[in-house]
Amino acid sequence: MAFSLSKPITISLSPNTFGPDVLRAWVSLFKFWKWKDTRVASQLERRFGAYHGDSQAVSFDSGRSSWQAILLALGVSSGDEVLLQAYTCVVVANPILWAGATPVYVDIDTGTYNMDLIDLERKITRRSKVLLIQHTFGLMADMNEVIKIACRHGLTVVEDCAHALGAERLNGKGTWQKAGTFGDAAFFSFGRDKVISSVYGGMALTGDPRLAARLQTYQSSLSLPSRRWIVQQLLHPILFSLIVPLYFTGSLGKLLLVACQKIGLLSKAVYPCEKQGKQHASMPRRYPDALASLASAQFAHLDRFNERRSQIALLYRREFVSLWPESLPSEVEGTRSAHLRFTMQTSDPQMILASARKQHMLLGDWYQQPLAPGGVGYGAVGYAPGSCPVAEVAAMRTINLPTYPRLSDRDVQKVIDFMKKEFKP
């Protein structure tokens, strides 16, 4: 029999938002004269750089814009190839196309959901210029091996840390090193369901002063987002504080969500044109203080957030490891994951997601396509179906369990009880 939960568990509906974040969004909304300042964004850049061992951080309106900035700063252009993994979001492939370069998709390793380094070596050509390494769901790729391969082939390494802020890996010297500091550059996302969140926002990071200077020059050439766009993002935590509690009250919350998106009060994480390889007119832009103030407050809690995510992931692993060892993500020695989501493999993801919904739980579906979300034009973004078979099979078998820090122990137990009842490997 279905049980009902007082507070819905929702992996994607603004999961990072605590009460004070909603209040902060209200305050920011009223302080309209400060929206387009960049003082808080600059402070965040300095703190972010220091957190990453004195690297230089340059902020943008999103992770995808930060990636676009890095490609431009590296001089990537027509004729170049950029290697990236399948089992990612389409917004990662797009900036490569906009730079005039060719995305070359590499298959993944099933256990870690990170790039398969054997397939990588097969796909490197004389035109390969940049290697983008994604730390999927916060588990760091084998950067020691990646750097060796990149050196052999003269590739520039960029780390996609959209899921991995605060993750670490033991380096060749046996010391812990943060995601984003192994390669030549990295980018991070402060998107609505990332490790920390300001609905939209991102950071480019590099230890190379010349690259940093080019990123800063590019940043200064951009304008700030429109006031309308800023309001739309600030309304996100505010409206979701109403939508989430109502989500399973009949269809009230869901109707409210759809209505707010339809009339443009809420933005979407991926714009429809981006699914066809096109750039949305609102990007790229500088990162306004209106949003930087939200990310800045969350950044202060980053280590505590990641500790809580690790605890939750450990609870899932302990409960499930003897039941379904083949369905769990790999544990990799010498890594400290950011555990953005706990991903499992099942023969029937749709059934699990649907029965979870009946029990007032929204589990995750990242990534149910080799290039997510649904509706991506593979031709438009240069993906040949069949070229990354492991990623394609993994995508058909994926569900994610929530690890967001707002989950209580009771919530986690509810997820575990549900899985024990409904999960099929």
Ligand X SMILES: Cc1ncc(COP(=O)(O)O)c(C=O)c1O
Among 194, 275, 420, 424, the active-site one is: 194
In the bound state with ligand X, the residue whose beta carbon lies nearer, of 329 and 414, is 329
Q: 202-206 and 56-60 as β-strands: parallel, antiparallel, unpaired?
A: antiparallel
In the bound state with ligand X, the residue whose beta carbon lies nearer, of 106 and 256, is 106
How crowded is the C-beta side of 288, counted as CA atoms within 13 Å? Answer: 26
In the bound state with ligand X, the residue whose beta carbon lies nearer, of 199 and 419, is 199
**Closest CB 88 distance from ligand X, rounded Å:** 5
In the bound state with ligand X, the residue whose beta carbon lies nearer, of 191 and 253, is 191
- Count residues contacting ligand X (CB under 6 A)? 14
Residue spans of alpha helices (H) in 348-400: 349-358, 389-396
| Cα 163 to Cα 404: distance, rounded to the nearest angstrom | 12
Under 8 Å CB-to-CB from 257, ≥6 apart: which residues? Answer: 13, 243, 247, 266
In the bound state with ligand X, the residue whose beta carbon lies nearer, of 180 and 202, is 202
**Closest CB 62 distance from ligand X, rounded Å:** 4
**Closest CB 312 distance from ligand X, rounded Å:** 20
Taking alpha carbons only, the member of 397, 399, 375, 389 closest to residue 106 is 389
Under 8 Å CB-to-CB from 254, ≥6 apart: which residues? Answer: 247
By the rule CB under 6 A, 202 interacts with ligand X: yes
In the bound state with ligand X, the residue whose beta carbon lies nearer, of 245 and 382, is 382
Per CB under 6 A, contacts with ligand X among 277-316 are: none
* Cross-strand partners of 205: 57, 186
Kindly write out the interface string for residues 56-95 of this chain, putting x where it contacts ligand X by CB under 6 A and - elsewhere: ------xxx-----------------------xx-xx---
Catalytic site residue 420? no
Between the CA atoms of 225, 229, 234 and 236, what dihedral angle is there, to the nearest 10 degrees? Answer: -140
C-alpha distances out from residue 321 to 110, 144, 166, 328, 405, Å: 17, 28, 25, 7, 22
The answer to whether 388 and 86 have CB atoms below 8 angstroms apart is yes
Per CB under 6 A, contacts with ligand X among 157-196 are: 160, 162-163, 189, 191
By the rule CB under 6 A, 131 interacts with ligand X: no
Tokens standing for residue 231: 């309001």
Kindly write out the interface string for residues 222-261 of this chain, putting x where it contacts ligand X by CB under 6 A and - elsewhere: ----------------------------------------
By the rule CB under 6 A, 407 interacts with ligand X: no
Tokens standing for residue 390: 């492991």
- Catalytic residue set: 194
Residue numbers at the binding site for ligand X (CB under 6 A) = 62-64, 88-89, 91-92, 134, 160, 162-163, 189, 191, 202
